[in-house]
Structure 1
Amino acid sequence: MATIVVSPIDQQGHVNPSLRIAKGLRERGHRVVYCGLADLEDFIKAEGFEFVPVLADLCPKGFQARVLEQVKELSGLRLYQFSREMDRQEERMLAAMQAGALDEPFTRLKPDLLLCDVMHPEPPLVAYGHKVPCVLLNTTLPMRREEGLPPLSSPLVPDGQLKTKLLIEAAWVRNTYRMRLRRLFRTRQVRHLLRLARRYGFPPEQLDFSGSTVSAWAPELVLCPREFAELGTSAGVPRGQYLYTGPSVDLERQEVDFPWERLREDRPLVLVYLGTLAFQTDLDARLFRHVLEVAARKPDWQFVLSLGRKLEVGAFDGVVPNVIAVRHAPQMAMLRRATAMITHGGFNSVKECISMGVPMVVIPMVYDQPGISARVVHHGVGVRAMPFQTTTESLLAQLDEVTTNPRYRSNVQAFRDRFRQAEELTPAADVIERFLERGAPAAARPVPTGRSA
């Protein structure tokens, strides 16, 4: 049996999709070891997996939480000084990686495969030097340019019309400009990756700087059936190295406690969750206040607000009698009872709604969420509310639409069945095992010693 190292981003939306895959591999007898920043350790070990921390001297356990707390309290000059310190912290981390800080898991574990988050550019380069093959874990949809598809930052849905085609092309032009501008201002990271590639013998031409993130060219697991990723005229277009699998939703993952005694079994339930980003924005607060006003209009319904780290629970909990606000709600358990969900359109939340047969109102905020919302609209599993145009009246109308029009529940149940079929026919563990059979890349070089130049 193989030893497989999993290297996720330290965010809930990136860790959760890996758990179903890791459990499937463990059930088949493989040894699965997680590797990442120390803040992940307790959560991963609670799921029963081994964990190897990296960069622990620079980022000890609790480091990220302390940073987030400090950011909330700072402004003006103090915030600027803090950002400069974080800039120096990044320099220290890059220097440590150049000096071989990521070697230890490979030398100690001697893994047969690295399963690495697509947003982690360094581990695949190190794995290459250790002759360890790599599969990228894409926790959203494909981010590279595909014929007929808009970038994930766009809410456009292809319909074959010339106007829409021109808008899609314009969206790619804007996206390319943003990426080039971002690369211009991130020359340090580019130089760092090129130096790391030289250190580990990774061909620099196989570094992809064209997408929303910098990554090594490698096969990518896309955790959904291919037809969900498609949008109309893009269907059937070749997908390069994308490996579509089942949705890998961990239906049995451990979740936080909740005051269940406050819920009524005889009332429809709406779950409201707008993502895990740590910073508070005026938009978040305004949208949650709209939900309070919607709840006041629907006194016979129940609303559970999962606020994350953005807002204070006391400002929302019980302000309207049928509203329960918590910092973190057990999402899978909630969706088993929910009539609808109001969501930011994170890929995991959308897949979990589909897996539970729950239609949704999507309010896309940033990153890939506009593109995810386009799939929700295209496949008829929910409706979309643009965040800066959302009012109490419009949100109330959209919630009524998805809960009273039977086509949304019918569509989401049809996709739920397709998700279950895909999980049975093409689980990610199957795809990974087939990849393992091919062995390590022949061109990999020996691991270098000493510091890079």
Structure 2
Amino acid sequence: MPVSVLFIVSAYVGHFNSVAGLAAALRRKGVEIYIAGSPVHENAARRNGFSFLSTPYLDIISTPFGIDRKFTGMNFRGVLKERMKNKEIMARFPEVVSDIQRLCRDVRPDILFFDPFMLFYYPAFYPYCKTIFALSPYPLLDPDRMVPPYTSGLIEENENVLFNKTILVWCRQFIRYTLWSLKERWVYGASLYTMMRRLSQLCNFPVKGEWAPRYVYFDVHFKSVPELVLFGKEFEFKRKAPLRTNVYYIGPCVDAAREEAPIDLHTIDIQDKLILCTLSTISFNDDINIKTRFFDQLIQAMRDRPEYTLIAALGEGLRPADFKDIPGNVYLFITVPQLKILSKADLFINHGGSNSIKEAIHFGVPVIVYPNMADQPGVAARVESHMIGKRGDFYKDNASHIGESIDEVLGNPVYLKNMYLMKARFAAYTQKPAALYKYLKEIGSY
């Protein structure tokens, strides 16, 4: 019988894309693939040939848990409402555990892969599958005195002192995480850990000895769960401490054959250089004005550079009609087939999302990164450190700054050279005999 693998995926489109490459690589080895997640992924999963299982009961914990409360003030009525919501969530845990039992009995997975935002449910799956991995589509988050958390844009340069900027960043991260957890527990009635403890009690899972926070709001980590990092180790900052024994870099796993919406490039008059700009699959109401300002400045920069062609994906909340006086070398869309255009592009302007950077490296396209949140600042710092592109200020850069960055990256061959070196290093993960499938056979139990 073929080995069956179950992926537990969160509702974010980027998270589905990050596991699709790994799933496709395993399927080519004859592995039976199941994707379990939000209904929003069903079409994409089936379009890519995966069996899909809708699991809306795994959406009751909004991941990152409590993040919506973190950035908003609450009055007394709002606090009571949130406390009631948390009690209702915990009251549903027995039902969720039963649904997970049913899922595991139906699929009988040999291996389980958890999206990092879904690892909260690990205790409920643990009794039914002993070969379980956490997937990290981001750089590794383990604390190290030379490697800041990926939520920081710091590039540490001081190796010779006992107390450097990175240690200060980690201390600040620990304090903020601890205060946030205390606020969640005592103001809103439940922190992520107290929720986890309640779920673990229902499953007889030893959470106290397993829980190992890394002080980022949206991270869940267990000591005994092996972590597969979907990046090349060469992209990382150099660590001072050795890696954990259950951390494995398995490469970017970019699915270059991923099904995307079509686009007819023959209708676009591509000049000397083609530039692609996409800024994220996630959009929030409060950043529409900021994105509009950025695209206005980018369009102005392109107006002064008729020798370049720009294809830009505006994302949710914006339309091409929102922009006036578009020059002939600028083409605006709501979404674009990113992989298809990257295969033709000379420069990729993006938000520093891990998927976008891995795809840029896959095609050898230098980047200009405008980080905003989550892993983006740390990814952008690594881009700049390795000189495979530049990073800018999403909130402040004007047309002049953007244009100067475009001219620098397209005009200085060192960026393209370094990007091709990184591309070759990443490509080696799929070319070496000890690559993906062998890793899983060695550290798995099947």
TM score, norm. by length of structure 1: 0.85
Q: Deviation at 1:55?
A: 2.7
Residue equivalent to 2:377: 370
Residue equivalent to 2:17: 16
Aligned equivalents of 1:344 and 1:276: distance in 2? 10
Aligned equivalents of 1:53 and 1:97: distance in 2? 18
Alignment check: 8 A CA contact 2:25 2:253 kept: no
Residue equivalent to 1:193: 196
SS at 1:114's partner residue?
strand
Q: Deviation at 1:87?
A: 8.2
Aligned equivalents of 1:295 and 1:31: distance in 2? 47
Residue equivalent to 1:124: 122
2:213 alignment partner, one of 209, 228, 247:
209
* 1:273/1:435 CA distance change after superposition, 3 Å: same
1:393-417 per-position Cα deviation (integer Å, ceiling 9, x unaligned): 1111111111000000000011111
Q: Deviation at 1:147?
A: 3.4
Residue equivalent to 1:255: 260
* 1:389/1:237 CA distance change after superposition, 3 Å: farther
Q: How does 1:35-434 map to 2 (within 5 A)?
A: 35-55=36-56, 92-99=88-95, 100=97, 101-160=99-158, 166-187=164-185, 188=190, 189-204=192-207, 205-212=209-216, 213-217=219-223, 218-231=225-238, 234=239, 237-280=242-285, 281=287, 282-316=289-323, 319-425=326-432, 426-434=434-442
Alignment check: 8 A CA contact 1:270 1:304 kept: yes
Q: Which amino acid aligns with 2:267?
A: R
Aligned equivalents of 1:255 and 1:220: distance in 2? 29
Alignment check: 8 A CA contact 1:119 1:215 kept: no
SS at 2:30's partner residue?
coil
* 1:251/1:195 CA distance change after superposition, 3 Å: same
1:293-348 per-position Cα deviation (integer Å, ceiling 9, x unaligned): 11111122111111221423321387232211111111111111111011111111
Q: Which amino acid aligns with 2:327?
A: V
Aligned equivalents of 1:210 and 1:358: distance in 2? 32
Q: Superposition RMSD on alpha carbons, in Å?
A: 3.0
Higher relative contact order (CA 8 A, sep 6+): 1
* 1:262/1:177 CA distance change after superposition, 3 Å: farther
* 1:85/1:104 CA distance change after superposition, 3 Å: farther
Q: How does 1:29-40 map to 2 (within 5 A)?
A: 29-40=30-41
Q: Which amino acid aligns with 2:351?
A: H
Q: Which amino acid aligns with 2:442?
A: R
1:59-99 per-position Cα deviation (integer Å, ceiling 9, x unaligned): 8xxxx9xxxxxx9xxx999xx99999898777655533332
Aligned equivalents of 1:125 and 1:137: distance in 2? 16
TM score, norm. by length of structure 2: 0.87
Aligned equivalents of 2:115 and 2:202: distance in 1? 21
* 1:92/1:84 CA distance change after superposition, 3 Å: same
Alignment check: 8 A CA contact 1:143 1:211 kept: no
Q: Which runs of 5+ in 1 are unaligned?
A: 65-70, 440-453
Aligned equivalents of 1:167 and 1:259: distance in 2? 48
Alignment check: 8 A CA contact 1:3 1:111 kept: yes
Aligned equivalents of 1:86 and 1:261: distance in 2? 52
1:20-47 per-position Cα deviation (integer Å, ceiling 9, x unaligned): 2111211222211111122221211111
Q: Which runs of 5+ in 2 are unaligned?
A: none
SS at 1:146's partner residue?
coil
1:204-256 per-position Cα deviation (integer Å, ceiling 9, x unaligned): 1202233321233311111122121124xx26733442210121011110011
SS at 1:254's partner residue?
coil
Aligned equivalents of 1:355 and 1:57: distance in 2? 32
Q: Which amino acid aligns with 1:2?
A: V
Which moved further from structure 2: 242-251 or 23-32? 23-32
User: After the TM superposition, which parts of structure 1 deviate over 4 Å for at least 4 consecutive aligned residues?
Assistant: 56-59, 80-94, 161-165
Q: Which amino acid aligns with 1:434?
A: E
Q: Which amino acid aligns with 1:40?
A: H
* 1:376/1:230 CA distance change after superposition, 3 Å: same
* 1:311/1:181 CA distance change after superposition, 3 Å: farther
* 1:318/1:97 CA distance change after superposition, 3 Å: farther
SS at 1:103's partner residue?
helix
* 1:57/1:216 CA distance change after superposition, 3 Å: closer
SS at 2:92's partner residue?
helix
Aligned equivalents of 2:12 and 2:18: distance in 1? 11
Alignment check: 8 A CA contact 2:269 2:329 kept: no
Aligned equivalents of 1:86 and 1:278: distance in 2? 24
Q: Which amino acid aligns with 1:147?
A: R
Aligned equivalents of 1:318 and 1:427: distance in 2? 50
Alignment check: 8 A CA contact 1:114 1:124 kept: no
Aligned equivalents of 2:59 and 2:385: distance in 1? 45
